Copies of this chain bind each other. A is one copy, B any other.
Amino acid sequence: MEGLKINPWEVSSEIKEQDYPKLIKEFGAKLIDDKLLDRLKKITGDLHPFLTSRLFFAHRDLDVVLDDYSKGNEFYLYTGRGPSGKMHLGHLLPFIFTKWLQDKFDVDLLIQITDDEKYLVKDISMDEIRKNTQDNILDILSLGFNKERTHIIVDSEQSKILYNNAIMFAKKLTASTAKAVFGLKDSDNVGKYFFTSMQAVPAFLLSAIKGRNVRCLIPYGIDQDDHFKIARDILPKLGYYKPSAIISKLMPSLQGTGKMSSSDPNSAIFLDDDEETVKKKINKYAFSGGRDTKEEQRKYGANPDVDFAFNMYRALEPDQGKVSRAYADYKSGKILSGEMKAMSSDAINKFLSGLRERKEQIKGHVGEYMFDVNRFKD
């Protein structure tokens, strides 16, 4: 894996599908095998397309969470968002999956908005971050999260409880570990050194508040693994469970390489892109798994798994029967790239328009989703 970089602040654009199992082995996590999928399905009734498509493909101690859950012990979910800009589809996919987990298991979900980190690592003003924070929260909530069990932690709003717990964590984390794991340098600011402690807190916060151990399951992209690997080392030293993880590949990028990026408007589909823009982006920029000509496509068929349009269709089309048929037909050459793109644009536009509708309904209710420590006191 020489030269491949994948950590919270840097991702090589050359990560290929076949690299993932090797990365996971190197990181010390496990692949989600068919047995574990079956076990999940027994509880959840069906499997989310992100599981069957292996977008969420690896885990740490997911089996332990399920063992505990089957004994009647609740766990909770924790995920997050760094509000560095407006959100695109790639940002939203992990939340779609997290919502599915929450709905299936009926558990609490902490969503950490790391406005402090964005301030520390980016050349961006707090005013801009505040605006992004408000917009991002609304975008996330427009997925329709359970109001009773969804708790948004904006770091700067909850810095009291976060900091007071973060120093427990920070006491166990040396600068040399922070350097080795994150590639921090002496020239980096001391806030960056400390921040990983703030990001670790939600992984044990409910245990800290309740005064008894509650398991935490964290869905995250593989690029965030370093943060939580450290958390798994340190939490037992504080008397808490190691957090469990369900880990995704990098979210599919419009142009097929690396992550979607907020800084390049054509590298991603933004949540506020209108129907025509979506169509144009899919037609013009979407990485295709189809053949170069109509004839070749009819003859050899496409590779749907690397096809952005198909992947979005699979992610967003509610009728998974249709998706299976499209997969078969696209692969066999019965469907051409242009048709796949049209189906995908439609699914994306339907999804975005649903988001926009729910967004309007949710405006004015955002406060009801904000983390309140008193709701967790037994």
Q: Which of A160, A163, A184 has the most CB of B within 10 A?
A: A163
Would you call A354 an interface residue if the criterion is a C-beta within 8 Å of the partner chain's C-beta atoms?
no
Would you call A186 an interface residue if the criterion is a C-beta within 8 Å of the partner chain's C-beta atoms?
yes
- A186 / chain B contacts, CB cutoff of 8 Å: 174-176, 179
CB distance from A209 to the nearest CB of B (A): 15
CB distance from A17 to the nearest CB of B (A): 36
Q: How far is the CA of A110 from the CA of B170 in the complex (A)?
A: 26
Hey, what's the 0/1 contact readout for A203-242 against B, CB within 8 Å counting as 1?
A: 0000000000000000000000000000000000000000
- A166 / chain B contacts, CB cutoff of 8 Å: 191
Count of identical protomers in the assembly: 2
Would you call A36 an interface residue if the criterion is a C-beta within 8 Å of the partner chain's C-beta atoms?
no
Do A175 and B160 have beta carbons less than 8 Å apart? no
Hey, what's the 0/1 contact readout for A138-170 against B, CB within 8 Å counting as 1?
A: 000000000000000000101110111011101
- A188 / chain B contacts, CB cutoff of 8 Å: 174-175
- A179 / chain B contacts, CB cutoff of 8 Å: 186
Give residues 166-198 of A contacting B (CB, 8 Å): 166-168, 170-176, 178-179, 184-191, 193-194, 196-197
CB distance from A245 to the nearest CB of B (A): 22
- A194 / chain B contacts, CB cutoff of 8 Å: 170, 190-191, 193-194
Q: Which of B156, B163, B170, B184 meets A175, CB within 8 Å?
A: B184
Would you call A116 an interface residue if the criterion is a C-beta within 8 Å of the partner chain's C-beta atoms?
yes
Do A176 and B167 have beta carbons less than 8 Å apart? no
Would you call A351 an interface residue if the criterion is a C-beta within 8 Å of the partner chain's C-beta atoms?
no
Do A170 and B190 have beta carbons less than 8 Å apart? yes
Q: How far is the CA of A173 from the CA of B194 in the complex (A)?
A: 12
Would you call A120 an interface residue if the criterion is a C-beta within 8 Å of the partner chain's C-beta atoms?
yes
Would you call A287 an interface residue if the criterion is a C-beta within 8 Å of the partner chain's C-beta atoms?
no
Q: How far is the CA of A179 from the CA of B179 in the complex (A)?
A: 14
Q: How far is the CA of A164 from the CA of B159 in the complex (A)?
A: 7
Q: Which of B164, B185, B196 meets A190, CB within 8 Å?
A: B196
Count residues of chain A with CB under 8 A from any CB of chain B: 34
Q: Given that A159-B164, A160-B159, A163-B163 are contacting pairs, would A191 and B171 also be in contact in the complex, using a CB cutoff of 8 Å?
A: yes
Give residues 125-140 of A contacting B (CB, 8 Å): none
Do B174 and A189 have beta carbons less than 8 Å apart? yes
Q: Given that A167-B119, A170-B120 are contacting pairs, would A178 and B159 also be in contact in the complex, using a CB cutoff of 8 Å?
A: no
Q: How far is the CA of A168 from the CA of B127 in the complex (A)?
A: 13
Q: Which of A160, A166, A167, A190 has the most CB of B within 10 A?
A: A190
CB distance from A179 to the nearest CB of B (A): 7
Do B189 and A190 have beta carbons less than 8 Å apart? no
Q: Given that A120-B171, A170-B120 are contacting pairs, would A178 and B164 also be in contact in the complex, using a CB cutoff of 8 Å?
A: no
Among residues of B, the one whose C-beta sits closest to the C-beta of A169 is B191
Q: Which of B173, B187, B191 meets A176, CB within 8 Å?
A: B187
Q: Which of B159, B171, B189, B190 meets A163, CB within 8 Å?
A: B159
Closest 5 A/B residue pairs (Cβ)? A170-B191, A194-B194, A176-B186, A160-B160, A159-B163
A-B contact pairs, 24 of them (CB 8 A): A116-B163, A116-B167, A119-B168, A119-B171, A120-B167, A120-B170, A120-B171, A156-B164, A159-B163, A160-B160, A162-B163, A171-B189, A171-B191, A173-B189, A173-B191, A174-B190, A175-B184, A175-B187, A178-B190, A179-B186, A190-B190, A190-B197, A191-B197, A193-B193
Q: A172-B189, A191-B194 are in contact. List 7 more A-B contacts (CB 8 A).
A: A116-B167, A159-B160, A170-B194, A175-B175, A175-B184, A190-B196, A194-B194
